[in-house]
Amino acid sequence: MGGIIKIVYAFVIFISLILIVTSNVHSLLPCGTDDDCANDPCIHPEYPHCHMEQCHCV
């Protein structure tokens, strides 16, 4: 019984780590143009801009 609970806990942690890593994949990919940064959130009046292969809010 205790072994099953440990397996469930390990499974939950593993799934959580996968979700965290996959949600941040877009921010790790290099950009080539400003259009590649269109999905990055910026606070108005800033807008996403590609600079040195990374998206920044300017």
- Pick 55 or 39 by higher pLDDT: 55
Q: pLDDT tens digits, residue range 36-48? A: 888 878 888 999 9
Q: pLDDT tens digits, residue range 9-31? A: 999 999 988 887 777 666 667 88
8 Å CB contact between 57 and 43: yes
Q: What pLDDT is recorded for position 25?
A: 61
Q: What pLDDT is recorded for position 26?
A: 60
pLDDT for residue 3 is more than 90: no
In total, how many domains does the chain have? 1
Domain that holds residue 29: 2-57
Give the C-alpha separation, 12 to 9, whole Å. Answer: 5
